[in-house]
């Protein structure tokens, strides 16, 4: 069980209002809705489940765990490069870096030492700064345990997907809460599963990747991804 301070930190970092730029990313919600493949709460629940099962638990979580346990920031950068080569979709790579750098920037401005040092390292390498790797740096800087960092990582993804669906008018606020409740159970089961250190980061979400890849060509769009 978490103590009160950790629980409050989880609430703060997992809040969709945390100023890390998450509002700019729909992670496929906008594209799938534009293509007629996401029309309501049931479709959103399926999308959230696919993100958690086929991307977060097999890609983001292993990367976060490796970066969280890294001996120093040079080792973190090695994992960041792995995140870059393990993400075949160029728009997804770009979105991951933009989201990660936004989160890192907030943490650095708050005066967190590791975040400031890693942000300085990114100035010389535009390919670094992927979200799950940055989350490890930021949440470790914030004093969270690895288990707490995993929860915040998964929950901010879920929250972002539901929030995007609300902003696009796909579902209402009450329906979004139902989706969050359903995802809460799935995320809890995933973090309870073992994540072997030797697990090779990978993902398989073809429809999501295609929807995000098509986004730049759409005439009107609200989100980066």
Question: Do 207 and 193 form a contact (C-beta atoms < 8 A)?
Answer: no
- Rounded-to-integer distance, Cα 61 and Cα 59, Å: 6
Over residues 59-79, the mean pLDDT reads 97
Tens of pLDDT, residue by residue over 80-128, are: 999 999 998 888 899 999 999 999 999 999 999 999 999 999 988 999 9
Domain membership flag for residue 137 = yes
Shortest CA distance to 157 belongs to which of 127, 192, 187, 182?
187
**Cβ-proximal residues to 207 (8 Å cutoff; 6+ apart), any chain:** 28, 32, 37, 50
Enclosing domain of residue 205: 29-217
Number of independent structural domains in the chain: 1
pLDDT of residue 1: 56
Domain membership flag for residue 16 = no
Domain membership flag for residue 109 = yes
Tens of pLDDT, residue by residue over 1-17, are: 568 888 898 889 988 77
Domain membership flag for residue 156 = yes
Tens of pLDDT, residue by residue over 118-175, are: 999 998 899 999 999 999 999 999 999 999 999 999 999 999 999 999 999 999 999 9
pLDDT of residue 2: 67
Exposure string of 137-170, with b = 16+ CB inside 10 Å and e = fewer, is bbbbbbebeeebbbbbbbbbbbbbbbbbbbebeb
Q: With bands split at pLDDT 50, 70 and 90, how would you rate the model's confidence at 213?
A: confident
Q: With bands split at pLDDT 50, 70 and 90, how would you rate the model's confidence at 219?
A: low
CATH number of the domain bearing residue 55? 1.10.4190.10
- Rounded-to-integer distance, Cα 107 and Cα 119, Å: 10
Give the CA distances from residue 46 to residues 40, 172, 195, in Å, rounded to whole numbers and listed in that order: 10, 17, 23
Over residues 187-205, the mean pLDDT reads 91
Give the CA distances from residue 8 to residues 55, 138, 198, 223, in Å, rounded to whole numbers and listed in that order: 27, 16, 32, 29
Domain membership flag for residue 7 = no
Domain membership flag for residue 13 = no
């Amino acid at each position: 069980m978490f103590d009160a301070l950790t629980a409050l930190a989880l609430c703060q970092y997992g809040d969709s209002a945390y100023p890390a730029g998450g509002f700019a990313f729909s992670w496929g919600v906008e594209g799938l809705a534009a293509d007629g493949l996401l029309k309501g709460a049931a479709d959103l629940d399926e999308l959230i489940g696919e993100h958690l099962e086929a991307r977060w638990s097999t890609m983001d979580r292993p990367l976060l765990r490796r970066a969280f346990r890294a001996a120093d920031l040079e080792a973190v950068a090695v994992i960041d490069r792995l995140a870059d080569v393990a993400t075949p979709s160029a728009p997804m790579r770009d979105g991951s870096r933009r989201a990660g750098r936004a989160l890192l920037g907030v943490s650095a401005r708050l005066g967190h030492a590791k975040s400031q040092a890693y942000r300085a390292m990114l100035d010389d390498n535009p390919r670094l700064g992927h979200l799950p790797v940055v989350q490890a740096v930021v949440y470790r800087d914030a004093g969270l345990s690895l288990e707490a960092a995993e929860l915040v990582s998964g929950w901010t993804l879920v929250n972002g997907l539901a929030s995007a669906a609300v902003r696009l008018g796909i579902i209402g606020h009450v329906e979004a809460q139902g989706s969050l409740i359903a995802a809460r159970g799935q995320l809890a089961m995933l973090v309870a599963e073992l994540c072997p250190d030797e697990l090779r980061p990978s993902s398989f979400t073809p429809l999501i990747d295609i929807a995000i890849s098509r986004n730049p060509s759409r005439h009107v769009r609200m989100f980066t991804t």
